[in-house]
């Protein structure tokens, strides 16, 4: 990912800490407990706010070279960009497609897409996707008895 | 207790077959991120209906011991812990693998696990009733101090920038807050989604922060096509044995800490590895080597998490109070088999209890040959081309994360934390303290709130009991002693 | 990339064509959701049921633990599942509390009731060295002491055993809010607090307390049931102790999402009934100390409706009710 200067990350963390504190103010106190449900998250938010400010301040004092951040190396190589993007794409595709298509079809398509994005040739990709989706089904559904999403291919199995 | 009849019961062909089969099952489950020892034990329950008590309990005991060791394997190979118990030293083990010492670190994992497991069992056999009494003295005050001591471990394991380590720890603590508040039942930071009411799943977080973050890193440098690091060849076991011999006191110390944490209900294997690793660094002669691929802490922590398994049976057998989720299942099986946990279990069902102890020892001895086979098989993984290997790992991670809760929502957690973990590591924020915060967060808040409720807001109650006061003293000593030493003006080398 | 799209399209069409034709239910694996962790009581009952339902229905029945949020996640998952009969759940007493506590939108009436399989009476447990010798003296002491003197643990506030305990106090004319709840995840940590002297009372089922009673750490003053339990003949009922009939505790039952096909509903009711009556299940339940009570389909529905009303009332008294 991108490298951010301590000023940037410090400010982001301080912002998160502040947001945690602000959100905690809305928690109502229920019952007779001497500790409000806002106390502990408020404490966490305060520490994060402090850490973030300390990082940002340290960065200013040290006069870090980077203003906020620099472009990372991988953004200059199309092959790497494709590989990096394929990771979230695979997770999202699995999450959205598996309830519709069922596990086997989704796993096959997602694996195939991943392998192609990682520049594996088509023949190997097809073979691996086929074997891997079957293997995952065997491990999780047959051996571990996890009910993975049921789809049209599963309906054909005995 | 008659150990001769116990050994005869265990060494029946059927019992032995069950034990070996569940050992292989446990090794497999442990080495898969997303499959946990608890899941495996729960799966075995319906099978145990049709078995005698000894093979039934033996299956669960063996399976869990194997799984906790096997969690180390993907950690050393790929920097992905197979179970939460291995998370503490996963970076260290991976660094060792990069240095070509894969066989060494894995055989240390293996031998230390067996030593820890046997140590925990011996304590269980000899001291169970006495130690269970001690465990009963632990109320929320004691747990509060214990949890704070655990959090202090984070400052020891994060080496570089202390502020960044603290930030990571508190990010983890914050993630643990998400969900329904136990006291009021109030949703906090859930943004109206039901899925978040259950909080951030630990397994999903581990897969995101370790596996997916690592895949991002590898994908960003995919063009390099690095060959796997050349490995030291030769027999596996001797490499580990010499390291263990060198750090034999560490193995003993890790085993002791692990057993003790296992005995305390609610602590367990997940926390044992962290504390032992931190203690190891604190008292090491070469703390500066930690985090760069140094075997010392791995010895402590590998022994510790397996030792905690035996410890968890202490309160379970004596008081029916489960030390962890696996012993909760074991208690259920015992009840079905007509054995009521309690102090009388040792007299009324003495033969079966002795047989269970024999299974414990046997399982830890079996760990060596079977673990060795697993290591040999696993080493081949690194020969697979990266462009093939990374997609395969990602698929296992996705399906594993989904399988824990059967929840698509957990995939979004995996993705979000994967991105966060990647950004954090690139910018010098360590991941380990964040995971520790996530593991301990609930215990910290609950023990604090419960103590305050019990004491009616009176803070004196926190140090009013002897064990609580001792733990409080340890906690403040951890923080004040290094400070005082520094104030003393002399740069005291950390020799202790 | 073109090929992927094509494959996707074909897959989508195929999925549409081979839609759900409920030929003879069940024709594929059934998922049984449990809102509590593996190893707990509800999980144990679910796995015992599932193992036998599998043989009865001739299809795998997989137990899935959807834990978290004091059970609200799992129960929400059951209620919101696709009503095709392939997702069912083993619900527990908390199902009828989420509506009142405001954590969920559904009520206990928004499910298809299949069968109630278990009722566990709550017991009034105190430390073995407690000065209370019987329920009467305990209740008198509670009534006289200022609010906050006595504490109980063993559950989250608003859980079934807490509500049953509060109803008992209320019936005796004692404000249930005088007892402070120290929250815990289940009975075991509660007993640990009891033994460590942190709380005075732990309401739990009797089997959960057995080990601690045998260990001489805990004594039971009364069981909140209409008759003494077979396995615990020495523990008096509330009626015997204070002359007021009172029963309360927790229950577990199989439910399905609202609106499942009648065929699936009838098949499930018949199958659960057969399993419940089987010798294996009966002996499993009694060995683990679970109470055996059975209510089929509509009777279970009526019971759920009654629970819904009762819990609304008690939770109002405790200040836990977030809606009217």
Q: What is the pTM of this model?
A: 0.87
Confidence at residue B471, expressed as pLDDT on a 0 to 100 scale: 92
Average pLDDT over residues B226-246: 85
Average pLDDT of chain C, as a whole number: 87
Structure tokens that stand for B383 in this block: 């020969």
Topology (CATH level 3) of domain C30-119+249-317: D-Maltodextrin-Binding Protein; domain 2 (3.40.190)
| Dist CA A155 CA B16 (whole Å) | 38
B348 touching chain C per CB within 8 A: no
Chain B residues with CB under 8 Å of A6 CB are: 427
Check if the beta carbon of residue B415 is closer than 8 Å to that of residue B208: yes
Question: At the fourth CATH level, which superfamily is domain C120-242?
Answer: Periplasmic binding protein-like II (3.40.190.10)
Residue partners of C91: CB distance under 8 A and separation at least 6? C35, C75, C78, C111, C252, C253, C254, C255
Average pLDDT over residues B13-19: 92
Name which of A35, A80, A92 is nearest B220 (Cβ-Cβ): A80
| C4·A113 Cβ contact <8 A | yes
Residue limits of CATH 3.40.190.10 in chain C: 120-242
Confidence at residue C20, expressed as pLDDT on a 0 to 100 scale: 45
Nearest of B144, B60, B107, B53 to residue B459 by alpha carbon: B144
With a CB-CB cutoff of 8 Å, which residues 389-418 of chain B face chain A? 390-392, 394-396, 398-399, 402-403, 406, 408, 411-412, 414-415, 418
Interface of C with A (CB under 8 A): 1, 4, 7-8, 11-12, 14-15, 17-18, 28-29, 31, 60, 62, 64, 86, 147-148, 157, 177, 180, 319-320
Average pLDDT over residues B376-405: 89
With a CB-CB cutoff of 8 Å, which residues 168-187 of chain B face chain A? 170-171, 173-174, 177, 181, 183-186
Confidence at residue A72, expressed as pLDDT on a 0 to 100 scale: 78
Check if the beta carbon of residue A5 is closer than 8 Å to that of residue A67: yes
Residue partners of C195: CB distance under 8 A and separation at least 6? B136, B319, C127, C212, C217, C218
A155 touching chain C per CB within 8 A: yes
Confidence at residue A68, expressed as pLDDT on a 0 to 100 scale: 58
CB burial of residue B14 (10 Å; 0-12, 13-18, 19+): exposed
Find the helix packing angle between B53-70 and B296-319, rounded to 10°.
Answer: 150
Check if the beta carbon of residue A13 is closer than 8 Å to that of residue A51: yes
According to DSSP, the residues that pair with C132 across neighbouring strands are: none
Length of chain A: 158
Q: Which has more pLDDT, B157 or B43?
A: B43
Average pLDDT over residues C80-107: 91
**Residue C3 pLDDT grade (very low, low, confident, very high; cuts 50, 70, 90):** very low
**Residue B227 pLDDT grade (very low, low, confident, very high; cuts 50, 70, 90):** confident
Structure tokens that stand for B30 in this block: 């442990």
Name which of C151, C188, C216 is nearest B322 (Cβ-Cβ): C188
Within 13 Å and on the Cβ side, how many CA atoms surround B4?
A: 0
Segment B270-319, tens digit of pLDDT: 889 999 999 998 889 988 898 888 999 999 999 999 999 999 999 888 88
Within 13 Å and on the Cβ side, how many CA atoms surround C67?
A: 18
User: By percentage, how much of chain B surpasses pLDDT 70?
Assistant: 97
| Dist CA B281 CA A117 (whole Å) | 42
Chain B residues with CB under 8 Å of C195 CB are: 136, 319
Segment C267-307, tens digit of pLDDT: 999 999 999 999 999 988 888 888 899 999 899 999 999 99
Q: Which residue of C has its CA nearest to B453?
A: C182
| Dist CA B487 CA B481 (whole Å) | 10
Secondary structure of residue C63 in the 3-state scheme: strand
**Residue B4 pLDDT grade (very low, low, confident, very high; cuts 50, 70, 90):** confident
Confidence at residue A65, expressed as pLDDT on a 0 to 100 scale: 61
| Dist CA A118 CA C62 (whole Å) | 36
Q: In terms of C-beta distances under 8 Å and separation of at least 24 residues, what long-range contacts does C302-308 make, across chains too?
A: C303/C116, C303/C251, C304/C95, C304/C96, C304/C108, C304/C109, C304/C111, C304/C113, C305/C108, C305/C109, C307/C93, C307/C96, C307/C108, C307/C251, C308/C96, C308/C99, C308/C107, C308/C108, C308/C109
Segment B418-448, tens digit of pLDDT: 999 999 988 889 888 899 899 888 889 989 9
| Dist CA C63 CA C186 (whole Å) | 21
Q: Which residue of A has its CA nearest to C180?
A: A32
**Residue B159 pLDDT grade (very low, low, confident, very high; cuts 50, 70, 90):** low
Nearest of B326, B467, B361 to residue B124 by alpha carbon: B361
Nearest of C136, C119, C155 to residue C248 by alpha carbon: C119
Confidence at residue A96, expressed as pLDDT on a 0 to 100 scale: 96
Check if the beta carbon of residue C133 is closer than 8 Å to that of residue C232: no
Segment B338-361, tens digit of pLDDT: 777 877 788 778 888 889 899 999
Q: Is the pLDDT of residue B474 over 80?
A: yes
Q: Is the pLDDT of residue A67 over 60?
A: no
Residue partners of B355: CB distance under 8 A and separation at least 6? B6, B9, B10, B54, B58
| A109·C62 Cβ contact <8 A | no
**Residue B250 pLDDT grade (very low, low, confident, very high; cuts 50, 70, 90):** very high
Q: What is the DSSP letter of C320?
A: -
Confidence at residue C142, expressed as pLDDT on a 0 to 100 scale: 94
Q: Is the pLDDT of residue B157 over 80?
A: no
> Smallest CA–CA separation between C237 and chain A, in Å?
31
Confidence at residue A64, expressed as pLDDT on a 0 to 100 scale: 64
Q: Which has more pLDDT, B33 or A25?
A: A25
Confidence at residue A66, expressed as pLDDT on a 0 to 100 scale: 59
Structure tokens that stand for A158 in this block: 């005995």
Q: Which residue of B has its CA nearest to C148?
A: B456
| B411·A91 Cβ contact <8 A | yes
Residue partners of C146: CB distance under 8 A and separation at least 6? C178
| Dist CA C129 CA C219 (whole Å) | 8
Chain C residues with CB under 8 Å of B137 CB are: 196
Chain C residues with CB under 8 Å of B325 CB are: 37-39
Within 13 Å and on the Cβ side, how many CA atoms surround C179?
A: 31
Confidence at residue C19, expressed as pLDDT on a 0 to 100 scale: 42
Check if the beta carbon of residue C66 is closer than 8 Å to that of residue B407: yes
Confidence at residue A1, expressed as pLDDT on a 0 to 100 scale: 53
| Dist CA A155 CA C84 (whole Å) | 15
Name which of B177, B188, B391 is nearest A115 (Cβ-Cβ): B391
Average pLDDT of chain B, as a whole number: 88
Nearest of C189, C35, C317 to residue B180 by alpha carbon: C35
Name which of C64, C72, C198 is nearest B454 (Cβ-Cβ): C198
Chain B residues with CB under 8 Å of A120 CB are: 387-388, 391
Best residue of A86, A98, A152, A156 to probe chain C, by most C CBs closer than 10 Å: A152
| B49·C48 Cβ contact <8 A | yes
Q: Is the pLDDT of residue C5 over 60?
A: no
Which range among A81-90, A108-117, A138-147, B338-347 shows the weakest confidence by mean pLDDT?
B338-347
In which region does residue C193 sit, left (phi positive, over 0), alpha (psi from -120 to 50) or beta (all else)? alpha
Confidence at residue B89, expressed as pLDDT on a 0 to 100 scale: 92
Q: Is the pLDDT of residue B160 over 80?
A: no
Subunits with at least 3 CB pairs below 8 A relative to chain A?
A: B, C
Residue limits of CATH 3.40.190.150 in chain C: 30-119+249-317
Chain A residues with CB under 8 Å of B452 CB are: 33-35
Residue partners of C86: CB distance under 8 A and separation at least 6? A150, C26, C28, C29, C30, C31
Confidence at residue B162, expressed as pLDDT on a 0 to 100 scale: 84
Q: Which residue of B has its CA nearest to A141?
A: B403
Q: Which DSSP string do the residues of C77-139 spell out, in sequence order? A: HHHHS-SSSSEEEEEEGGGGTHHHHTS-S--TTSEEEEEEEEEEEEEEEEETT-S--SHHHHH
| Dist CA B67 CA B87 (whole Å) | 14
> Smallest CA–CA separation between C157 and chain B, in Å?
7
Within 13 Å and on the Cβ side, how many CA atoms surround B316?
A: 28
Confidence at residue A12, expressed as pLDDT on a 0 to 100 scale: 94
| C192·B139 Cβ contact <8 A | yes
Q: Which residue of B has its CA nearest to A94?
A: B398
In degrees rounded to 5, what are phi and psi of residue C119? -130, 125
**Residue B473 pLDDT grade (very low, low, confident, very high; cuts 50, 70, 90):** very high
Q: Is the pLDDT of residue A29 over 80?
A: no
Check if the beta carbon of residue A72 is closer than 8 Å to that of residue B216: no
| C211·B454 Cβ contact <8 A | no
Q: Which residue of B has its CA nearest to A110?
A: B395
The 3-state DSSP composition of chain C as helix, strand, coil percent (nearest 5) reads 45, 20, 35
| Dist CA B193 CA B195 (whole Å) | 5
Top mean-pLDDT range of A19-23, A144-148, C4-8, C246-250 = A19-23
Structure tokens that stand for B406 in this block: 């059967």
Average pLDDT over residues B123-147: 88
| A79·B170 Cβ contact <8 A | no
A149 touching chain C per CB within 8 A: no
Chain A residues with CB under 8 Å of B449 CB are: 33, 35, 40
Structure tokens that stand for B142 in this block: 């004691």
């Amino acid at each position: 990912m991108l490298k951010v200067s301590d000023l940037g990350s410090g400010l982001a963390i301080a912002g998160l800490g502040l947001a945690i504190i602000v959100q905690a103010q809305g928690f109502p106190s229920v019952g007779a407990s001497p500790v409000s449900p806002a106390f502990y998250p408020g404490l966490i938010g305060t520490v994060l706010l402090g850490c973030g400010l300390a990082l940002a301040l340290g960065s200013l004092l040290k006069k870090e070279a980077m203003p906020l951040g620099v472009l990372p190396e991988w953004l200059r190589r199309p092959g790497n960009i494709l590989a990096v993007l394929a990771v979230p794409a695979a997770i999202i595709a699995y999450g959205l497609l598996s309830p519709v298509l069922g596990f086997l079809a989704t796993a096959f398509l997602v694996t195939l897409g991943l392998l192609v994005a990682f520049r594996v040739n088509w023949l190997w990709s097809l073979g691996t996707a086929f074997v891997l989706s079957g293997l995952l089904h065997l491990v999780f559904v047959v051996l571990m008895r996890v009910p993975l999403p049921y789809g049209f291919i599963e309906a054909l199995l005995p | 207790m008659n150990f001769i009849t116990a050994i005869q019961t265990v060494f029946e062909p059927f019992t032995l077959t069950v034990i070996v089969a569940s050992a292989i099952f446990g090794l497999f489950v442990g080495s898969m991120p997303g499959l946990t020892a608890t899941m495996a034990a729960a799966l075995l329950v319906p099978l145990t209906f049709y078995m005698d008590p000894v093979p039934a309990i033996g299956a669960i005991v063996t399976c869990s011991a194997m799984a906790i060791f096997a969690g180390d394997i993907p950690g050393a190979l790929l920097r992905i812990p197979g179970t939460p118990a291995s998370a503490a030293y996963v970076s260290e083990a991976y660094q060792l693998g990069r240095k070509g010492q894969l066989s060494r670190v894995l055989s240390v994992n293996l031998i230390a696990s067996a030593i820890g497991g046997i140590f925990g069992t011996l304590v269980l056999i000899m001291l169970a009733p006495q130690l269970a009494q001690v465990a009963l003295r632990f109320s929320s005050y004691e747990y509060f101090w214990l949890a704070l001591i655990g959090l202090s471990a984070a400052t020891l394991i994060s080496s570089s920038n202390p502020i960044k380590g603290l930030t990571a720890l508190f990010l983890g603590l914050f993630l643990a807050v998400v969900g329904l508040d136990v006291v009021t039942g109030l949703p906090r930071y859930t943004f109206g989604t039901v899925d978040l009411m259950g909080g951030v799943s630990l397994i999903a977080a581990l897969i995101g922060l370790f596996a997916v973050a690592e895949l991002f890193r590898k994908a960003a440098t995919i063009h390099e096509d690095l060959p796997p690091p050349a490995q030291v060849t030769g027999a596996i076991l001797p490499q580990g044995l010499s390291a263990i011999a060198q750090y034999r006191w560490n193995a003993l110390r890790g085993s002791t800490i692990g057993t003790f944490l296992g005995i305390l209900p609610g602590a367990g294997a997940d926390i044992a590895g962290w504390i032992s690793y931190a203690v190891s660094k604190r008292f090491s002669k070469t703390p500066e080597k930690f985090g760069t691929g140094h075997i010392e802490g791995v010895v402590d922590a590998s022994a510790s998490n397996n030792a905690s398994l035996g410890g968890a049976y202490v309160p379970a057998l004596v008081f029916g109070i489960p030390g962890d989720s696996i012993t909760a299942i074991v208690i259920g099986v015992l009840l079905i088999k007509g054995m009521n946990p309690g102090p009388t279990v040792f007299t009324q069902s003495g033969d079966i209890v002795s047989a269970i102890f024999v299974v414990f020892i046997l399982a830890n001895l079996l760990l060596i040959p079977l673990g060795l086979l697993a290591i040999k098989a696993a080493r081949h993984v690194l020969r697979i081309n990266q462009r093939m290997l990374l997609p395969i790992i990602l698929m296992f991670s996705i399906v594993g994360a989904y399988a824990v809760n059967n929840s698509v929502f957990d995939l979004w957690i995996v993705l979000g934390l994967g991105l966060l973990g990647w950004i954090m590591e690139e910018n010098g924020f360590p991941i380990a303290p964040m995971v520790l915060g996530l593991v301990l967060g609930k215990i910290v808040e609950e023990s604090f709130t419960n103590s305050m409720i019990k004491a009616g807001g009176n803070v004196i109650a926190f140090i009013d009991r002897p064990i609580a006061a001792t733990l409080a003293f340890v906690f403040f000593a951890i923080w004040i002693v290094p400070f005082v030493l520094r104030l003393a003006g002399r740069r005291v080398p950390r020799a202790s | 990339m073109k090929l992927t799209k094509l494959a996707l399209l074909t897959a989508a069409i195929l999925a549409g064509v081979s839609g759900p034709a409920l030929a003879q239910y069940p024709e594929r694996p059934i998922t049984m959701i449990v809102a509590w962790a593996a190893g707990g009581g509800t999980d144990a009952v679910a796995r015992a049921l599932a193992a036998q339902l599998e043989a009865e229905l001739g299809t795998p029945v997989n137990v899935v633990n959807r834990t978290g949020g004091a059970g609200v996640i799992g129960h929400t998952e059951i209620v919101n599942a696709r009503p095709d009969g392939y997702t069912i759940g083993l619900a527990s007493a908390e199902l009828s509390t989420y509506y009142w506590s405001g954590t969920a939108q559904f009520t206990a009436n928004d499910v298809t009731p299949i069968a109630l399989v278990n009722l566990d009476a709550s017991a009034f447990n105190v430390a073995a060295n407690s000065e209370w010798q019987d329920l009467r003296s305990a209740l008198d002491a509670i009534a006289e002491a200022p609010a906050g003197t006595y504490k109980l643990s063993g559950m989250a506030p608003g859980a079934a055993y807490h509500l049953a305990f509060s109803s008992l106090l209320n019936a005796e004319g004692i404000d249930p809010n005088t007892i402070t709840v120290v929250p815990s995840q289940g009975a075991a940590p509660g007993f640990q607090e009891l033994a460590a002297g942190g709380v005075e009372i732990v309401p739990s089922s009797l089997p959960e307390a057995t080990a601690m009673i045998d260990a001489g750490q805990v004594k039971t003053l009364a069981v909140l049931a209409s008759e003494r339990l077979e396995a615990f003949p020495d523990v008096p009922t509330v009626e015997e102790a204070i002359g007021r009939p009172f029963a309360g505790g927790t229950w577990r039952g199989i439910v399905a999402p609202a609106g499942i096909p009648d065929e699936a509903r009838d098949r499930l009711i018949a199958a659960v009934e057969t399993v419940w009556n089987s010798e294996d299940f009966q002996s499993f339940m009694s060995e683990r100390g679970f109470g055996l009570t059975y209510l089929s389909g509509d009777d279970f529905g009526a019971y759920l409706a009654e629970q819904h009303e009762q819990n609304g009332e008690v939770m109002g008294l405790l200040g836990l009710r977030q809606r009217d």
